[in-house]
Amino acid sequence: MSESEQSITVDEAYEQDNDKSIKFLRPRFHAEAFPTVQIFGYVGSLVLTFAAYFLVMNHVLPVLALLIIILTLAALQAALQLGVFMHVQEGRGMAWQIIPLYLVFLIAFGMVGMSIWIMLFKSGVS
Amino acid sequence: MSLPSVDEHAQKLPLEFADEHESLKITGFWMFLVTDVLIFASLFSTYAVFHNSVAAGPTADQLFKMGPVLLETLLLLTSSFTIGLGIYAMRKGQVRALMAWTFLTILLGAGFVTTEIHDFVSFAALHATWHTSAFLSAFDILVGTHGAHVTFGIFWAVTLLFQLKKHGITERTARKIYTFSLYWHFLDIVWVFIFTFVYLNGKLG
């Protein structure tokens, strides 16, 4: 519909405004004739979710090992959602959102990770 | 040196990024999501500290039933997929398909919220409310904040459907749908961590 107004290309936008030394902020778009990536993302998230569920419900490993594994599976699934569905590498010119995302993941990981870690000592106290 | 020739196969920037000002709003929305990560990180930390402080109330293992939780997970994962397909349709300029996928997303989201409210009411019937223990205070505020986000997202998506009906896919509506999809996928990520760290962790014992 508005195809004609849309004259600027990905490369033109990239050339227009960016610092070419920051390579990892270069946007990447993928266009496909069939939503293969989306189906892969959906099936992947289902597999990761049910893998975590069955690991926990069958108590296949010690508690701490299981907790580490299911949190890793959750982090993988977050990365899948970000990459596949949230198009984290897309942007006009530069994908600037990647820098604050790294920062906030670092803060969140530190805050929650440290809270979990400190509570591991609770059994020795009470 | 001559100007580079126009490549016939050069990839067009998707419509939501085509206007510089609209594109800036997408970057701005990413900044909002970053701050929302901080809110949820604080609530997850609180839950990590208090999840064994059950006072005289039930423990996580006694309280949680995995049936409704699995249903909620399935509904939300599927709704993340359907809005993903909506964006796919939007980039092909298919407004009817986009509206259908958005509508399906709203239905799945409403199913999620309904199941969650039913779950919370069944907890309240067992006198397991946020007054009961530190564990339940942390649980209710974490899961409730997520549920409130989803509820808001449903109303947001309904307004977007009306805008799509009126204006079709323009630079402006495309940007709005795109930011909504970011919001929705973000809530899916938060739910994955709630599913893992609250519900599955509760069953670890």
- Give domain status of residue A56, yes or no: yes
Task: Please tell me which of the candidates A6, A78, A104 has its beta carbon nearest to residue B38.
Answer: A104
Residues A89 and A113 in one domain: no
Given an 8 Å threshold on Cβ–Cβ distance, is A49 in contact with B20?
no
Say how many domains are in chain A.
Answer: 2
What pLDDT is recorded for position A126? 44
Amino acid found at A111 = M
Residues A105 and A124 in one domain: yes
The ipTM value here is: 0.87
For residues B103-115, average pLDDT: 97
- Which residue do the tokens 């949190």 mark? A71
Distance CA B85, CA A33 (A): 12
Residues A70 and A125 in one domain: no
- Give domain status of residue A116, yes or no: yes
Confidence of residue A125 (pLDDT cuts 50, 70, 90): very low
- Give domain status of residue A69, yes or no: yes
Task: Please tell me which of the candidates A1, A85, A91 has its beta carbon nearest to residue B80.
Answer: A85
- Give domain status of residue A82, yes or no: yes
Neighbours of B192 (CB within 10 A): 26
C-alpha torsion sign, points B136, B205, A120, A125: positive
Q: B134 vs B55, B59, B125, CA distance in Å?
A: 7, 11, 18
Residues A117 and A65 in one domain: no
Given an 8 Å threshold on Cβ–Cβ distance, is B10 in contact with A9?
yes
- Give domain status of residue A68, yes or no: yes
For residues B128-154, average pLDDT: 95
- Check if B17 contacts A (Cβ < 8 Å): yes
Residues A79 and A112 in one domain: no
- Check if B169 contacts A (Cβ < 8 Å): yes
Residues A78 and A28 in one domain: yes
Chain B neighbors of A63, CB-CB under 8 A: 204-205
Given an 8 Å threshold on Cβ–Cβ distance, is A81 in contact with B192?
yes
Instruction: List the alpha helices (DSSP H) in A8-97.
Output: 10-16, 36-57, 63-80
Chain B neighbors of A42, CB-CB under 8 A: 77-78, 80-81, 84
- Give domain status of residue A3, yes or no: no
Interface of B with A in 31-70 (CB under 8 A): 31, 34-35, 37-38, 40-42, 44-46, 48-49, 52, 66, 70
Which one, of B138, B141, B63, B153, lies nearest residue B108 by Cα? B153
What domain range includes position A66? 10-96
- Give domain status of residue A16, yes or no: yes
Chain A neighbors of B170, CB-CB under 8 A: 1-2
Residues A42 and A31 in one domain: yes
Residues A88 and A103 in one domain: no
Residues A51 and A24 in one domain: yes
C-alpha torsion sign, points B191, B82, B158, B67: negative
For residue A83, give how far its alpha carbon lies from the nearest alpha carbon of chain B (Å): 11
- Of residues B59 and B9, the one with the higher pLDDT is B59
Per-chain mean pLDDT for chain A:
85
For residues B70-76, average pLDDT: 96
Residues A28 and A82 in one domain: yes
Confidence of residue B9 (pLDDT cuts 50, 70, 90): low
Q: Does pLDDT of B143 surpass 60?
A: yes
Residues A26 and A84 in one domain: yes
Confidence of residue A10 (pLDDT cuts 50, 70, 90): confident
Query: What are the structural domains of chain B?
Result: 68-204 (1.20.120.80)
Chain A neighbors of B45, CB-CB under 8 A: 111-112, 115
Residues A84 and A34 in one domain: yes
List, in sequence order, every residue forming a beta bridge with B12; answer none if it has no partner.
Answer: A9
For residue A81, give how far its alpha carbon lies from the nearest alpha carbon of chain B (Å): 7
For residues B23-44, average pLDDT: 96
Which one, of B72, B201, B41, lies nearest residue A71 by Cα? B201
- Give domain status of residue A87, yes or no: yes
DSSP class of B11: P
